[in-house]
Structure 1
Amino acid sequence: MNAIAEDVIVEPAVPDRAVASPVAAVRDGRDRPLRDLRLSVIDQCNFRCTYCMPREVFDEHYRFLRASERISFDEMMKIAHAFVALGVEKIRITGGEPLLRRGLETLIERLARMTTLKGKPLDIALTTNGSLLGARARGLRDAGLSRVTVSLDALDDAVFRRMSDVDLPVARILDGIEQAQAVGLAPVKVNTVIERGVNDHQILPLVRHFKGSEIALRFIEFMDVGGAAGWSNSTVLKARDIRAIVEKEFPLIAADHADSGATSVNYRHADGKGTVGFIASVSEPFCGECSRARVSADGQLYTCLFATQGADLKPWLGEAVPGEQLMDAIHARWNARDDRYSELNADRRRAGTGKTWPTVRMSLVGG
């Protein structure tokens, strides 16, 4: 496999509509089901966000995966079929910046032909920094993408440039969001990571901007993952404090929390003009309801965002290996899963013994 041929699509021997025979309900050691797959398609990114890929680490000499080291779209489809047969209903395409992966629309088109065990269309989502979204939104929607989440940490141009560490105007991201909405990607969500003393003054401007737009704005506590070497508890602005800031200007009403596996606690504006969500990943961990598996761009299965190592799926990705063997490998790994890093770390912090542990690189495994 070489850099040119790596993304060339070869029609699989099994039609993309086919799903391997289902197995009994897949549950981990804490009785959590397998429902969501985060599929990372590339570990590179065109941003150098200070909390994820700081430039002092991810400089021009940093060795990212070569094209030959990334799993192919055919291999991703085999992975997708196995996970769907085990009960997965949602696949979120991540990175790095996934829109840097050449031919991504073709992968989405193939995923969109799949159905869940319940016979429903597979829910396909994408997380992006939005810099390339404006030009790609229609093609992504036509390929079958269901919805998109855009990361945006500030409206102020100077703050945005400082946090993303790129010479790019925030208007470029806002245009991508508008184009995604215009072509019918729905819902369009905007995720904002809040660092105390860095961009907390952007909370109200962001709410004002997106209120009434049908864009779902969500604020996320600053987490100790990936490249967040500068993380400390003092940099975390808790979700309840973020909500208090919002409610000083905008009255909120708690919204229904229908999805038990959702990470965001959502509120409606009292005047009915939009929603705001809060993800308390540090102060109120939701490990107990986590139904997400992650596969990195090099084919490693991670059962937690804070994992230190993955399980290599590549031995089961060859054309000669039956899909059932891949299913068995995933099933066994999920059954053995006992991850609850955030809960344990919250306990350690309360006891005064908390520290940041080395975890998998965020750009490799996705958020």
Structure 2
Amino acid sequence: MPEHPDFTPSPNLLTTQEAIRLITIFQSAGVTKLRLTGGEPLMRQDLPEIAQAAVDLNLAVSLTTNGVLLSRRLPALLRAGVSGINLSLDSLCPHTFSLLTRRPPQVHERVLSALHDAVTEPSLSVKLNVVVMSPHNHLTLPDFVRLTESHPLSVRFIEYMPFAGNRWKHASFVPYSEMLRSITHHYGPLSAVATHPNDTAKYFRVPGFQGTIGFISSMSAPFCAGCNRIRVTADGALKTCLFGEHEVSLRDIMRQGASDEQVLETIRRALHDKHFALGGKGDMFGIAAGDNRSMVRIGG
């Protein structure tokens, strides 16, 4: 969490109907999956309505959340048809959690309770996202892996990526190869799990464990060639790459009276102009030198 997060005024955010309209347009162009992210998507009271509209269009709908409000809102999300939860939790230690999130340590227990509620819900696919940072949590990876022993949970270790306000520095960066070495040193050889060409993570399993572990190596081994993802921010900006600074406001053209076909053509042009890798930044140092949004204003 940045020290001074730049929150977007409510009138600048997509309305419920604008969000549903964009989902409908993307679905008409062949999109089959929708992930509702943030900031924190559960801050939106209309989230079940948006999820239900997407499910009614036969989209597979999942959610990325910090878990603070999840237990209270999970029943409504399940009724709406949400089938996947990605819960972001960078530490199993309340003190470190508080340091990273700028929330009281007691909130940590609420997030762990939400994780339990999610993994014990048989209709949900649950992933735990862990951004690995030295010295905060890079020595605790085996503890996270232990969570996969008795639950069909996927714990995904994510390389620390530079964004505005997150005080990224190379000294805190832990590459995928080092994470893997640490875990195999503790648990022994891992079993590889088959993945799809468009997957963002490399998956493994500790033999005998129910769940899996994944590594998202965005910086040390980018997967840009297989990327089939596109982002629309809460204020309606189209980002064809997480790391790219270029944005196109779909909100503005809708509010100016654009037809669905005109919106779709704007999306097509943006995709045509997309850089092949890392938003054209070259590497993590090029990204760090750029002027992208903070992650809380892009979405996970």
Tell me the TM-score normalised to structure 1 length: 0.76
Residue 311 (structure 1) aligned to one of 248, 271, 274? 248
SS in 2 for 1:91: strand
Which residue of structure 2 lines up, in the alignment, with residue 128 of structure 1? 65
Identity value in percent: 28
Which residue of structure 2 lines up, in the alignment, with residue 301 of structure 1? 238
What is the Cα deviation at residue 343 of structure 1? 7.6
Higher percent of residues as helix = 2
- Kindly tell me: are residues 204 and 104 of structure 1, through their superposed partners in 2, closer, same or farther at Cα, counting changes over 3 Å? same
Which residue of structure 1 lines up, in the alignment, with residue 115 of structure 2? 177
Alignment of 1:208-223 (within 5 A): 208-223=146-161
1:364 equivalent to 2:297? Answer yes
Which one has more relative contact order, counting CA pairs under 8 Å at least 6 apart?
Answer: 1
What is the Cα deviation at residue 185 of structure 1? 4.3
Which residue of structure 2 lines up, in the alignment, with residue 113 of structure 1? 56
Unpaired runs of 5+ residues, structure 2, are none
Distance in 1 (alpha carbons) for counterparts of 2:168 and 2:298: 19
Which residue of structure 2 lines up, in the alignment, with residue 288 of structure 1? 225
Which residue of structure 1 lines up, in the alignment, with residue 127 of structure 2? 189
- Kindly tell me: are residues 339 and 362 of structure 1, through their superposed partners in 2, closer, same or farther at Cα, counting changes over 3 Å? farther
What is the Cα deviation at residue 355 of structure 1? 5.1
Residue 88 (structure 1) aligned to one of 31, 52, 59? 31
Residue 99 (structure 1) aligned to one of 42, 47, 61? 42
- Kindly tell me: are residues 191 and 331 of structure 1, through their superposed partners in 2, closer, same or farther at Cα, counting changes over 3 Å? same
Distance in 2 (alpha carbons) for counterparts of 1:83 and 1:181: 30
- Kindly tell me: are residues 339 and 226 of structure 1, through their superposed partners in 2, closer, same or farther at Cα, counting changes over 3 Å? farther
Read off the aligned partner of 2:82 and give its amino acid letter: L
Distance in 1 (alpha carbons) for counterparts of 2:180 and 2:34: 29
Distance in 1 (alpha carbons) for counterparts of 2:287 and 2:242: 18
SS in 2 for 1:127: strand
What is the Cα deviation at residue 151 of structure 1? 0.3
Which residue of structure 2 lines up, in the alignment, with residue 145 of structure 1? 82
Q: What is the CA deviation profile of residues 133-185 of structure 1, one whole-angstrom value per residue up to 9, with x for unaligned ones?
A: 11111211111111010001111111111111100432211111111233334
Unpaired runs of 5+ residues, structure 1, are 1-48, 116-121
What is the Cα deviation at residue 320 of structure 1? 5.6
Read off the aligned partner of 1:98 and give its amino acid letter: P
- Kindly tell me: are residues 355 and 135 of structure 1, through their superposed partners in 2, closer, same or farther at Cα, counting changes over 3 Å? closer
Is contact 2:225–2:276 with CA below 8 Å preserved after alignment? no
1:163 equivalent to 2:100? Answer yes
Distance in 2 (alpha carbons) for counterparts of 1:127 and 1:277: 16
Read off the aligned partner of 2:207 and give its amino acid letter: A
1:66 equivalent to 2:9? Answer yes
Q: Count how many residue pairs are aligned between Structure 1 and Structure 2.
A: 298
Distance in 2 (alpha carbons) for counterparts of 1:221 and 1:231: 11
